[in-house]
A = this chain, B = another copy of it.
Amino acid sequence: MQLTSRFRIKNINNIIEFLSDVHVGRLATIDVNGYPQIIPMNFVHTVTDLNTKNFSLDYGKPTYRKDGKRENIDNDFKIVKNVSTKKTTLYEHVIYMHSHHRGEKIENFLRNQKVGFEVDKEICFLPSYYFHPTDASFADTLYTSIVIKGKASVVSDNQEKAFAMNKMMQKYQSEGKYAELNQDTKSIIHLTVIKINVDTIDGKYKIGQEWSDSFRKDIANKIIQREGITRAREILKDMKIIIQKNGELELPISVNLQL
């Protein structure tokens, strides 16, 4: 991916956090006629220790230390430095999905295991007149997107299937109210779990980070006017701008705009 550096998410932990927040990803496989087929999928991201092949590391959402700092995966995205033990471990990023046991996508990746996976969030459409009184070509969109490429397979190990499904349930049904699955649970044997072993991850974000403070404030006020205060509050949160109780806008210092 050719990405202007200022729009690239440079810290892998911000990518992981985004993947743990967003509900829907899209899986692209290559069909029998050579066309990519894209379908929406619920998913969960995790990491596997490449030395021990231990997949149940429970590293879904970045964890926080007692001092409030985040345990960071190194920017070389396959290395995690464990802050508490000072050990360096080689990890592999993995995406798990639940699926019907038949279907075009499975036929496709059994034939050609190279797949694409993508997760995005549209933050806000910015009409052209925010930037120019008449020229339509100024219209723009703020968004975040994560573009993944990897190899897909069907998980055969029931222990790994149970782990993946429990991770899915933690993400989508955080209130509980289900029996934790294990390798002997009857339904686990019949479930189909798809796994992507990730080769590359690229994150892009456009939240107005290239604008001056005064311009960001100006656009923020225009967003409040066009979208209404309720919707604007969500949008500005993604732009890292806070609407204070008195209506004043609070802008972060620019270093906090770097993801």
Check A30 for interface membership: any CB of B closer than 8 A. yes
Residues of chain B contacted by A209 (CB below 8 angstroms): none
A178 with B23, Cβ < 8 A, contacts A30-B30, A116-B35, A128-B173 known? no
Residues of chain B contacted by A252 (CB below 8 angstroms): none
Q: Is chain A's interface secondary structure helix, strand, loop, or mixed overall? A: mixed
Quick check: B35 and A118 within 8 Å, CB to CB? no
Nearest CB on B from A244, distance (A): 24
Closest to A137 in B: B187
Q: State the copy count for this chain.
A: 2
Check A120 for interface membership: any CB of B closer than 8 A. yes
Check A143 for interface membership: any CB of B closer than 8 A. yes
Encode contact with B along A29-70: 1 for CB under 8 Å, 0 otherwise.
Answer: 111011111111010000000000000000000000000000
Check A103 for interface membership: any CB of B closer than 8 A. yes
Check A179 for interface membership: any CB of B closer than 8 A. yes
Could you say which of B39, B118, B143 contacts A145, with CB atoms under 8 Å apart?
Answer: B39
Quick check: B122 and A2 within 8 Å, CB to CB? no
Quick check: A116 and B37 within 8 Å, CB to CB? yes
Check A220 for interface membership: any CB of B closer than 8 A. no
- Tell me, in angstroms, the Cα distance from A97 to B102 when the chains sit together: 33
A interface, CB within 8 angstroms of B: 1-2, 23-24, 26, 28-31, 33-40, 42, 102-104, 112, 114-118, 120, 122, 125, 127-129, 133-137, 139, 141, 143, 145, 147, 149-150, 165-166, 168-169, 172-173, 175, 177-181, 187-188, 190-191, 199
Closest to A136 in B: B178
Residues of chain B contacted by A139 (CB below 8 angstroms): 168-169, 172-173, 178
Nearest CB on B from A2, distance (A): 6
Could you say which of B31, B40, B127, B128 contacts A118, with CB atoms under 8 Å apart?
Answer: B40
Q: Please, could you name 26 A-B residue pairs with CB atoms under 8 Å apart, sorted by A?
A: A24-B120, A24-B143, A26-B118, A26-B120, A28-B36, A28-B38, A30-B34, A36-B36, A36-B114, A36-B115, A37-B116, A38-B38, A38-B117, A38-B147, A42-B141, A125-B173, A127-B172, A127-B173, A127-B175, A128-B173, A128-B177, A133-B177, A135-B187, A137-B181, A137-B187, A139-B169
